[in-house]
Structure formats: structure tokens, C-alpha cells
Amino acid sequence: MDKQELLKIIEKARVEEWEELDLAGNELTELPPEIGSLVKLKRLILGKWDSKKVELIGNNISFLPKEIGQLTALQQLYLSGNQLTEIPAVIGQLTALQQLYLSGNQLTEIPAVIGQLTALQILNLSRNKLKEIPAEIGQLTSLQILNLGLNELREIPVVIRQLTSLQELNISANQLTEIPAVIGQLTSL
């Protein structure tokens, strides 16, 4: 999909007040600033897991424009299978976000503003290059599913014990030498 086609879709979505936009698998390399005009959007899909083909269907997006922070109604953001190396701080403005999928990118760190996403129920950070998780993750008390598998984590922050709603935790295939004792305090697991 070329830029003109993408801009036409974004304009149509804006005028018709779409609540969902699926752009996965379109070989996009960037998102235009106009994406910020989709203020009614609740679900933005730029990458997803195809369970039938057992593969990530993403794009080649390497950065998110600051205008992504204008999508304050967004509840689900699918960014799996892209080339993201960082998450912009404006992500903290997406306070309605309930599901955030970032698996299969090139992330080496997660910004502290992640702690502002207090409505978050699902956070998938698997298949990245994360070496640590910010302490602010402890503020995500609504979190039910946390996938940190296939990263380079050496330890899990003690604040994880604050995630009292957590029902699923994947920390497999990391560089952990021991299972943190605080995991035993997560009684919903």
C-alpha cells in the first residue's frame, strides 16, 4: 500500500468515524501524522498473530508518530511483527488502552510512561530484546495477562507483586537465573 492509498483510507475512516482500522500485512514503513485525526478509533491493528499460519503478520514500521497520542479513545493497539526500536512517551496518553501487543519487534526498553496505562489488561512484550522492565509496570493493577517471553531479561522487578489481577505471566526464554520469590505472592496466577 502506498502513502496516497493510506491517506485515503485514513480520511475515509475519519469522516465515517471508524472505530476499527486493520492495516496489518500492508508492508507499511511508517504511519503518517494524519493517523492522529482518527479520534473515534478504538482498535488499531498494525500487526497481529495468525494462529492458522503460526506467524506474525505485521508491517515494517520502525517508529510511531507523536500523533498516535491523540487516539485517546483507543482500547486495543496491535503493533506485533514490526521493526519498532522504541515506544514514544506519548503512548502514556492512551489511558483508555486495554490491550497492547508489541511482540516481535526490536524493542530494547519500555518507557516509564507505561505505568500511566492503568486500564491495561493485556500487555504482550514477547519476542523483543528487552533487558529490563521499568518499575512503573507495578502501576498496571488491572493487568491480567503479561507476556515477557523470549527477551533478554535477567531479573523481574519486585514491583510485579503489585499486579494482583495477573492471571497469566510468561517469562520463558529469558536470561533469568532464578524465579523471583515475589511471583509466589501473585495469588491469581
Give the tens place of pLDDT for each residue, 2-57: 999 999 999 999 999 999 999 998 999 999 999 999 999 999 999 977 666 556 67
* Pairwise CA distance, residues 72 & 58, whole Å: 23
**Which pLDDT does position 3 carry in this prediction?**
93
Specify the pLDDT at position 51. 61
pLDDT of residue 139: 98
Residue 58 pLDDT: 86
* CA dist., res. 78 & res. 153, Å (int): 23
pLDDT in tens, the chain (189 residues): 999 999 999 999 999 999 999 999 899 999 999 999 999 999 999 997 766 655 667 899 999 999 999 999 999 999 999 999 999 999 999 999 999 999 999 999 999 999 999 999 999 999 999 999 999 999 999 999 999 999 999 999 999 999 999 999 999 999 999 888 889 999 999
| Beta-carbon contacts of residue 15 (< 8 Å; ≥ 6 apart) | none
Residue spans per domain, the chain: 3-185
| Backbone angles phi and psi of 44, in degrees to 5 | -120, 120
Q: Which cell goes with 147?
A: 507476556
pLDDT at 71: 96
Its CATH architecture, for the domain 3-185, is Alpha-Beta Horseshoe (3.80)
